Amino acid sequence: MLRLSKRSVSTLLRSGDRSFRVAAAAGTSIHRSSPSSTVSSSLNPLRFLNLNPQLASDAKRGEAESRWYSSLTNGKCRRSESLAHLNMKANWFMGYRNESSAAASDSSSQAPPPPPVEKYEYQAEVSRLMDLIVNSLYSNKEVFLRELISNASDALDKLRYLSVTDPDLSKDAADLDIRIYADKENGVITLTDSGIGMTRQELVDCLGTIAQSGTAKFLTALKVLLDNKDAGGDNNLIGQFGVGFYSAFLVADRVTVSTKSPKSDKQYVWEGEEGSSSYTIKEETDPQLIIPRGTRITLHLKVRNALPDYKGFADPERVQKLVKNYSQFVSFPIYTWQEKGYTKEVEVDDDSAESKQDNQDDQAERKKKTKKVVERYWDWELTNETQPIWLRNSKEVTTEEYNEFYRKTFNEYLDPLASSHFTTEGEVEFRSILYVPPVSPMGKDDVVNQKTKNIRLYVKRVFISDDFDGELFPRYLSFIKGVVDSHDLPLNVSREILQESRIVRIMKKRLVKKAFDMILGISLSENREDYEKFWDNFGKHLKLGCIEDRENHKRLAPLLRFFSSQSENDMISLDEYVENMKAEQKAIYYVASDSITSAKNAPFLEKLLEKELEVLYLVEPIDEVAIQSLKSYKDKDFIDISKEDLDLGKCDKNEEKEAAAKKEFGQTCDWIKKRLGDKVASVQISSRLSSSPCVLVSGKFGWSANMERLMKAQSAGDTTSLEFMKGRRVFEINPDHSIIKNINAAYKSNPNDEDAMKAIDLMYDAALVSSGFTPENPAELGGKIYEMMDTALSGKWSSPEAQPQQHMAQSHNAELLEAEVVEPVEVDGKK
C-alpha cells in the first residue's frame, strides 16, 4: 500500500486537465493523526473497502472516532458523507472522472434488456451434398459392394438380436443369408438379405436422412436395454456413419430398395437417382416381387459410351472376387449367382457311308458311340467363409491350417518360417496373425519401400485396407505379413484410411513387439538353417532398424549376425562374441571393409590377432552405420580399430617399451610430419602394428576409410561434407620394422637426403592403399612404384651382351676401384 503526504496529493491533483474533475481513490484519506494519505485505484470506493479489509476496518473506526481532511473538498467532513459524494475512476494513484461517463454510469442499472437471440438451422443443397459424399469420400469405386454387404450383415445381426426376445420376428424366413445376383447384359446387380427390413418411417429416417446411422441408433437402444452395459463389445455390427448406402451411386445412376419389415404387413419400395435431391417411396403391389422379410437392393449401373465401363461390375466372376476380397469373413453366408457345369456322356451320330454299310450288316451287334460334354447351368454358390481363423482359439488351430491360410491369403507357394497368433486385450483390443515369409518378395536389396500390402486390416471381419505407409509397422519390418482385426479402430468416413491416434500407436507398439518375439523364436530354434535363411533375406532390414528405431535397440541387437576373425565361415551373434571375450577385454572391436578377404588382411588387425582378440568383420555397406547407431551392447562399447587412439587395455601394456620408442623415434615422427605436411594431422608410434611398417588411420570423429569410400560412391553426395569428414588422418609407424629403422637412421645421418624423402612419400602412398583409402593421384603412385622396381631390378635379368656394357657404365659412374675381367663369348659363331 502506497502512502502519500497531503501536500503530494494536492500537487498531483492540480496537474490534471481542467476539463476533468480529478478524484482520488476511495482510500485516499488523510487522517489528522497521520501525516500521509492512502491512495487507491478502485472505481467504486465501497468496492475498494470490500477488497481491502484493513482499510475497511480503518474507515469504520475513523467514522466513529475522528474527522478527516480531503484535498477534494473544503474544510472538514465526515467519512460517510464524503464517500457518497466522491465518484472515483480506477487508476494506480487517482482517477480522471468525465461528467458524461458519470451520468451514464449512474443510469446503467436502468439499461434496456439485450435484443433476443435468434436460432437457425444449417441448410444444405442436397444434390451437391450427395455428390460430395459419393465422389469425395471414396477413392476406390469397388468398395460399394463392401458397404452394401456390411449394411445387409447389420440387418441380419439386428434380427438375430431382436429375435432373442421376440421369436416371431424370424418366423417368416428361417435362413439368415445374403444373395447377390449379377446381370452383366443389362448392367444390373441385385443384393438381397433376409434381415430385419424397414418400415415406411424407417425408410424415411435411414435412407432419406443423410448421415443418420440406423446401426448406431440400434446400438444406443440396445445399450439402454442392457442397463448401460457395453453393447458393442461382442457384436458384429459394422455401420457407424450413415453414409455407406450412398456409395451405391459410385457405379449406379438409379437405386431401388424394396424392403419388408416383420413389424409391418406391407412392403415398400424406395427409389432414388444420381444427382437428384428427392426420392420416392411407394407400396409394393406386384405379387412376384413380394419378399417374406428383408431388403432387396437393385443397382442399375451407369451406362456410358466412354470409359469407365461400370457394367463390368455386373460380371459374376468380378462380383465373386470382390466378395472374397472385402467380405470374405462376414459372419453370415454370402451366395453369388454363378455359372456351373457338369460332365456327361452323349451319343454321337456317324453318317459316313462305311458306317451305314456296317449298320446294315451288323446293326444289332454294334455299340453306340458316345462323347463327353460339359452341361452348363446357373446356381447359387457359397462365396465366403463365415469363421475366420484368427477368431478361433490358437490351441485348436494346427500348423497346417496356419500355413494354408498364409498361402491362400497372400498367394504364396512356400510355407512361412514362423507364425504368431495372439489376442490383445485391455486399452486396445484386437486379434492378429503374423507371419515371417520364407523369402523376400521384392529382392534382397529393396529395404527402402515401406509402403507394402503385407498387412490386411479388418474391422469387425470386414476388410478395410492393405495399403499402409508405416501406420502399423515401421519400414524395417515391412516384410512381416499378416491380418489384424479390431472393433474400435479410428477410421475416416469412407473406412478406407486409418486415422492417426493414440489407439493406432499402441496397436503398432504391440504388433512390433510380437514381431520381434516371433523373429527371436526363429533365432533360438534348434534348426540353425532357418535363421540363416531368414538373415540372408531380411538381415538388412534389421540393420536398418538399428539406425531408425532407437527404442527397440535392445530387441534388435541380439538378432544381428556378423562374420569375425575367429569365425570367417559362419556368422556369430553379439551374445556369442561377448561369451568369447577375454577377461581383460572391455570393448567389442570391429573393422569395416568391402569383403572378408580385405578385412582379415587389413594392417589394423595385426596386434589384435597376435593377442587373440576377436574382431567383427563388417562387410556390408549398412553394417558400419548400424553398429555406430547401437554404440554399445551389454555395457561393451563398439570400437573401430581403424581409428586413432586405439586402446587395447591391459592386453597390450608395456609402458617402458612405449617410452623408449617415443624417445628414439620422436624426432623422426616430427621429420616425417614435416615432409607429409597437410596430408596427415600427426605422425605417431603405433600400438596396433606388428608386421607392417606403417598404417594410415582415421580421426576419432571422422569417417573411416570404408565410409569415405561409400560416400564417394553416392551419386548425389555432398562434396562439402565429404571434405569436412575426411579431413583428419593420422600416420602411425611401427618402430620394430626394418624400414622404419632405416628411415630413422636416414634422419640422423642426413635429414635432407632426396632418397629418404622419396621413401617417405612412397611409404605414405603404400599405407594409403593398404589402409583402404583411395589415392588422389593413382598415376603418380604407379610412377613411384615403377621407378622403385627399375632400381631394384636393374641388370638382374639382362642379356649377356648387355652385361659388359652395363658393368662398364656402372664402374665408370661409380668410379669403382676394382676391375672385372669379362671373358668373350660366342654369338652366332663369332667372338
User: How would residue 442 be classed by pLDDT, with cut points 50, 70 and 90?
Assistant: low
Alpha-carbon gap, residue 99 to 751, rounded angstroms: 103
pLDDT of res. 764? 92
Using only C-alpha atoms, what is the Rg of the chain? 47
Long-range contacts of the stretch 422-426 (C-beta < 8 A, 24+): 422/394, 422/514, 424/507, 424/510
pLDDT of res. 653? 63
pLDDT of res. 824? 54
- Does pLDDT of 59 surpass 50? no
**H/E element, 376:** strand 370-382
Of the candidate ranges 173-187, 398-412, 567-581, the one whose mean pLDDT is the lowest: 173-187
Return residue ranges of the chain for CATH 3.40.50.11260.
560-651
- Does pLDDT of 163 surpass 50? yes
- The arithmetic mean of pLDDT across residues 207-225, rounded, is 57
- Would you say 681 and 698 are in contact if contact means Cβ atoms under 8 Å apart? no
- Does pLDDT of 271 surpass 80? yes
The DSSP symbol for 366 reads P
- Does pLDDT of 420 surpass 90? yes
**For the chain, what percent of residues have pLDDT higher than 90?**
32
Out of 40-49, 659-668, 795-804, the most confident range is 659-668
Cα angle vertex 764, ends 762, 765, to 5°?
A: 65
User: How would residue 562 be classed by pLDDT, with cut points 50, 70 and 90?
Assistant: very high
Alpha-carbon gap, residue 556 to 764, rounded angstroms: 40
Out of 115-124, 336-345, 443-452, the most confident range is 336-345
- The arithmetic mean of pLDDT across residues 317-335, rounded, is 91
pLDDT of res. 498? 56
What are the pLDDT digits (tens) for 676-691?
Answer: 998 899 999 988 888 8
- In this structure, which amino acid lies at residue 76? K
pLDDT of res. 714? 73
User: How would residue 374 be classed by pLDDT, with cut points 50, 70 and 90?
Assistant: confident
- Does pLDDT of 13 surpass 90? no
**Domain spanning 389-523 has what CATH number?**
3.30.230.80
pLDDT of res. 583? 85
pLDDT of res. 700? 83
User: How would residue 560 be classed by pLDDT, with cut points 50, 70 and 90?
Assistant: very high
Position with higher pLDDT, 301 vs 655: 301
Show the cell assigned to 723: 571434405
Of the candidate ranges 19-23, 93-97, 736-740, the one whose mean pLDDT is the lowest: 19-23
Position with higher pLDDT, 365 vs 656: 656
pLDDT of res. 541? 92
- Would you say 326 and 462 are in contact if contact means Cβ atoms under 8 Å apart? yes
Of the candidate ranges 26-35, 395-404, 425-434, the one whose mean pLDDT is the lowest: 26-35
pLDDT of res. 50? 46
- The arithmetic mean of pLDDT across residues 460-473, rounded, is 81
User: How would residue 591 be classed by pLDDT, with cut points 50, 70 and 90?
Assistant: very high
Residues recorded for the chain: 831
- Does pLDDT of 812 surpass 70? no
User: How would residue 232 be classed by pLDDT, with cut points 50, 70 and 90?
Assistant: very low
- Does pLDDT of 283 surpass 60? yes
Of the candidate ranges 203-212, 415-424, 681-690, the one whose mean pLDDT is the lowest: 203-212
Mean pLDDT over all residues of the chain?
A: 77
- Does pLDDT of 413 surpass 60? yes
Position with higher pLDDT, 494 vs 597: 597
User: How would residue 522 be classed by pLDDT, with cut points 50, 70 and 90?
Assistant: very high
- Does pLDDT of 192 surpass 90? yes
pLDDT of res. 399? 93
pLDDT of res. 380? 92
Please report the DSSP string for 701-740 in residue order: TS--HHHHHHHHH-TT--HHHHHHHT--EEEEE-TTSHHH
**For the chain, what percent of residues have pLDDT higher than 70?**
69
pLDDT of res. 499? 58
- The arithmetic mean of pLDDT across residues 54-78, rounded, is 46
pLDDT of res. 813? 47
pLDDT of res. 85? 46
Please report the DSSP string for 483-526 in residue order: EEEESS--B-TTS-SBPP-HHHHHHHHHHHHHHHHHHHHHHTSS
- Would you say 249 and 134 are in contact if contact means Cβ atoms under 8 Å apart? yes
pLDDT of res. 703? 85
Alpha-carbon gap, residue 469 to 457, rounded angstroms: 13
Bridge partners (DSSP) of residue 76 are: 69
Bridge partners (DSSP) of residue 182 are: 189
Alpha-carbon gap, residue 437 to 441, rounded angstroms: 9
pLDDT of res. 538? 92
User: How would residue 450 be classed by pLDDT, with cut points 50, 70 and 90?
Assistant: low
Bridge partners (DSSP) of residue 463 are: 458
Return residue ranges of the chain for CATH 1.20.120.790.
654-793
User: How would residue 171 be classed by pLDDT, with cut points 50, 70 and 90?
Assistant: confident
- Does pLDDT of 354 surpass 90? no
Position with higher pLDDT, 55 vs 336: 336
Of the candidate ranges 260-269, 347-356, 653-662, 806-815, the one whose mean pLDDT is the lowest: 806-815
750: Cβ–Cβ under 8 A, 6 or more apart, which residues?
756
What are the pLDDT digits (tens) for 468-503?
Answer: 777 888 889 989 999 999 877 765 444 445 556 778
Q: Which CATH entry fits the domain spanning 560-651: 3.20.20.190, 3.40.50.11260, 3.40.309.10, 3.90.420.10? A: 3.40.50.11260
pLDDT of res. 432? 94
**Domain spanning 126-335 has what CATH number?**
3.30.565.10
- Does pLDDT of 360 surpass 70? no
Return residue ranges of the chain for CATH 3.30.565.10.
126-335
- The arithmetic mean of pLDDT across residues 637-665, rounded, is 83
- Would you say 471 and 500 are in contact if contact means Cβ atoms under 8 Å apart? yes
Query: CATH class for domain 654-793?
Result: mainly alpha
Return residue ranges of the chain for CATH 3.30.230.80.
389-523
Dihedral angle of Cα 294, 297, 298, 304, to the nearest 10 degrees: -170
pLDDT of res. 565? 93
pTM over 0.85: no
Position with higher pLDDT, 174 vs 491: 174
- Does pLDDT of 25 surpass 70? no
User: How would residue 28 be classed by pLDDT, with cut points 50, 70 and 90?
Assistant: very low
- Does pLDDT of 36 surpass 50? no
Please report the DSSP string for 253-291 in residue order: EEEEEEEE-TT-SSEEEEEEETT-S-EEEEE---GGG--
Out of 148-152, 346-350, 363-367, 807-811, the most confident range is 148-152
pLDDT of res. 625? 92
Position with higher pLDDT, 139 vs 690: 690
- The arithmetic mean of pLDDT across residues 525-549, rounded, is 92
Of the candidate ranges 126-140, 248-262, 617-631, the one whose mean pLDDT is the lowest: 126-140
Give the phi and the psi of residue 539 in degrees, each rounded to 5: -60, -40
- Does pLDDT of 762 surpass 60? yes
pLDDT of res. 460? 82
User: How would residue 174 be classed by pLDDT, with cut points 50, 70 and 90?
Assistant: low
Of the candidate ranges 648-652, 772-776, 799-803, the one whose mean pLDDT is the lowest: 799-803
pLDDT of res. 448? 59
**Helices 655-676 and 754-770, axial angle in degrees (round to 10):** 110
**H/E element, 61:** helix 53-65
Neighbour tally for 186: CB within 10 Å: 11
If DSSP states are collapsed to H, E and C, what string results for 78-126? CHHHHHHHCCCCCCCCEEEECHHHHHHHHCHHHCCCCCCCCCCCCCCCH
What are the pLDDT digits (tens) for 723-737?
Answer: 666 667 899 999 999
